């Protein structure tokens, strides 16, 4: 067992870290304040090959292993939680759906520009009454000749208002439960009836627009169906399993940022004629914060390793996401505590890390759902 990074993984880490330190961190507070989609940073990431990291070069990807992708996303999230979500939803969800379930023509036409970052991807699964309970969705896609007519709506869709390619889930057989759900490629600029109702005003995760979408008799060609009818539920589950590894990476990136800032502040802030970092109470907080981050990394890379080996990783991905998301919030909370009153103000980034961290426990599988998943696998 080798815990050392390969030369390529170290190169990726160093490259993304430099980009984050020079381009992202100086903009992070502005992105958080304005909540505007950072199109210029996303375009630059596309040029650097960061929008299609785990996919083959033949489809415009960077051809990196999943460890490298997780490392890259961790670094991006260290700079901006919102930017981390933009990349995760674009790559792990939309990109992975196209790569795993698209035919060759669909990969060439839709996956390549997604990987190159010239198109932005989104994954439209959740609805107001169908979050964790996916089969409760009400959006329908009825076959009409060589087209499907889609009606319904989606909620909580990351990148939804800026996406060029949306992976949509809808019921092609409303009476068949989860076996009646299918997945499609939607092109908002081409498909009449695609409506962005608005975007959410969120606690954190700023810069990544979370949209409410509506479909009014939206017609899409039948060649936009991914796989066969009725396979959408399975597509979604498989995709979310892989996506949980990258939400663990986002969680770790935010926790690292909170830890780094806390260590720096503890060394500079003086009370009672000495840096507060000299006090045992602060040392113990920092020690616990770092230990949690390191443990989360091990869980994340264990799940990534199993995925790369093409072995079952459902339980391990759930554990990685569950633990990393919860320690991300805990570490960010301690970061605020170490900053004291300043940590509760926007003069420091500590409060932003806390707001960004909380989302990790909710999307792509709530902590409650993940505990059910882990418990089910333990009893198999």
C-alpha span between 139 and 149 (Å, rounded): 10
Which of 100, 120, 140 is the last residue in one of the domains?
120
Of 313, 297, 320, 314, give the one whose Cα is nearest residue 367: 320
340 within a domain of the structure (yes/no) = yes
* 91/140 same-domain check: no
Angle at 145 between CA 142 and CA 149, to 5 degrees: 30
- Domain assignment present for 2: no
Residue 246 lies inside a defined structural domain of this protein: yes
Task: Give strand pairing partners of 219.
Answer: 149
* Domain presence at residue 94: yes
| Contact of 225 with 169, CB cutoff 8 Å | no
My answer on whether 157 and 209 are in the same domain is: yes
Q: Are residues 161 and 242 in the same domain?
A: no
* Eight-state DSSP code of residue 4: S
Residue 212 domain flag: yes
290: exposed, middle or buried (C-beta count within 10 Å: 0-12, 13-18, 19+)?
middle
Determine whether 131 is exposed, middle or buried from the number of CB atoms within 10 Å of its CB (0-12, 13-18, 19+).
Answer: middle
Which pLDDT does position 2 carry in this prediction? 81
- State the residue range of the domain holding 186: 122-230
Q: Is 98 exposed, middle or buried (0-12, 13-18, 19+ CB in 10 A)?
A: buried
In this structure, are 194 and 324 located in the same domain? no
User: Phi and psi at residue 225, in whole multiples of 5°?
Assistant: -70, 130
Listed in sequence order, the residues at least 6 apart from 292 whose beta carbon sits closer than 8 Å to its beta carbon are 255, 327, 330, 331
350-89-375 Cα angle (round to 5): 85
- What is this structure's pTM? 0.97
Domain boundary among the residues 120, 148, 163 is at 120
Concerning whether 189 is annotated as a catalytic residue, the answer is no
Instruction: Tell whether 196 and 275 lie within a shared domain.
Output: no
pLDDT for the residue 1: 72
Report the mean per-residue pLDDT for the chain.
97
Residue tagged active-site, from 212, 326, 334, 364: 364
Domains of the chain: total: 3
Instruction: Assess whether 244 and 361 both reside in one domain.
Output: yes
Residue 160 shares a structural domain with residue 218: yes
Residues 240 and 361 in one domain: yes
**pLDDT score recorded for residue 241:** 96
Neighbours of 212 (CB within 10 A): 19
Task: Look at residue 92 in the predicted model and tell me its pLDDT.
Answer: 98
For residue 40, give Cα distances in angstroms to 83, 113, 158, 338, 367.
Answer: 12, 16, 18, 34, 34
> Which stretches of the chain drop beneath a pLDDT of 70?
none
Cβ 262 vs Cβ 284: under 8 Å = no
Query: Do 115 and 147 share a domain, yes or no?
Result: no
| Residues 210 and 267 reside in one and the same domain | no
Select from 82, 105, 120 the last residue of a domain: 120
Classified as helix, coil or strand, 243 is helix
Q: What CATH number corresponds to the domain at position 220?
A: 2.40.110.10
| Residue 374, C-beta contacts closer than 8 angstroms, at least 6 positions apart | 315, 318, 319, 322
Tokens of 72: 């890259």
User: What's the CATH code of the domain at 68?
Assistant: 1.10.540.10
Question: Is 238 contained in some domain?
Answer: yes
Give yes or no: residues 246 and 371 share one domain.
yes
CA distances from 35 to 39, 81, 152, 255, 332 (A): 12, 12, 27, 21, 21
Residue 204 near residue 355 (C-beta atoms within 8 A): yes
In this prediction, residue 131 carries a pLDDT of: 86
Burial of 311 (0-12, 13-18, 19+ CB in 10 A): exposed
Pinpoint the alpha helices (H) of 35-118: 39-47, 66-79, 81-88, 96-101, 104-106, 112-116
Task: Give the length of the chain.
Answer: 380
Answer for the pair 12, 68: CB distance below 8 angstroms, yes or no. yes
Are residues 224 and 265 both part of a single domain?
A: no
Q: Give domain status of residue 1, yes or no.
A: no
CATH code for position 246:
1.20.140.10
Whether residue 75 is contained in a domain is answered as yes
């Amino acid at each position: 067992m080798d815990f050392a990074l390969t030369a390529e993984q170290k190169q990726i880490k160093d490259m993304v870290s430099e980009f984050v330190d020079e381009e992202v961190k100086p903009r992070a507070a502005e992105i958080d304040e304005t909540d505007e989609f950072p199109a210029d940073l996303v375009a630059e990431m596309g040029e650097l090959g960061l929008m299609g990291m785990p996919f083959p070069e033949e489809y415009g990807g960077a051809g990196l292993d999943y460890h490298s992708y997780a490392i890259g996303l961790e670094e991006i999230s260290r700079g901006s939680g919102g930017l981390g979500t933009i990349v995760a939803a674009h790559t792990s969800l939309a990109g992975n759906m196209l790569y795993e379930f698209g035919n060759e023509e669909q990969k060439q036409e839709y996956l390549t520009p997604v990987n190159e970052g010239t198109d932005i991807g989104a994954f439209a699964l959740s609805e107001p009454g169908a979050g964790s309970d996916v089969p409760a969705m009400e959006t329908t896609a009825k076959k009409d000749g060589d087209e499907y007519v889609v009606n319904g709506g989606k909620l909580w869709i990351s990148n939804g208002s800026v996406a060029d390619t949306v992976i949509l889930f809808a019921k092609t057989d409303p009476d068949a439960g989860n076996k009646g759900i299918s997945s499609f490629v939607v092109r908002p600029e081409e498909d009449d009836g695609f409506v962005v109702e608005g975007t959410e005003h969120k606690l954190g995760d700023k810069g990544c627009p979370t949209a409410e979408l509506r479909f009014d008799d939206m017609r899409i060609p039948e060649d936009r169906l991914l796989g066969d009818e009725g396979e959408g539920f399975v597509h979604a589950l498989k995709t979310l399993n892989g996506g949980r590894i990258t939400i663990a990476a986002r969680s770790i990136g935010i926790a690292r940022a909170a830890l780094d800032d806390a260590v720096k502040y503890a060394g500079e802030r003086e009370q009672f004629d000495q840096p507060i970092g000299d006090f045992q109470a602060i040392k113990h907080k920092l020690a616990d914060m770092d230990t949690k981050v390191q443990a989360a990394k091990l869980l994340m890379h264990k799940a990534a390793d199993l995925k790369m080996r093409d072995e079952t990783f459902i339980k391990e991905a759930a554990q990685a996401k569950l633990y990393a998301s919860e320690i991300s919030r805990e570490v960010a909370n301690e970061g605020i505590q170490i900053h004291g009153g300043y940590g509760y103000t926007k003069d420091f980034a500590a409060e932003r890390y806390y707001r960004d961290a909380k989302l990790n426990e909710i999307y792509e599988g709530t902590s409650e759902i993940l505990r059910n998943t882990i418990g089910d696998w333990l009893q198999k």
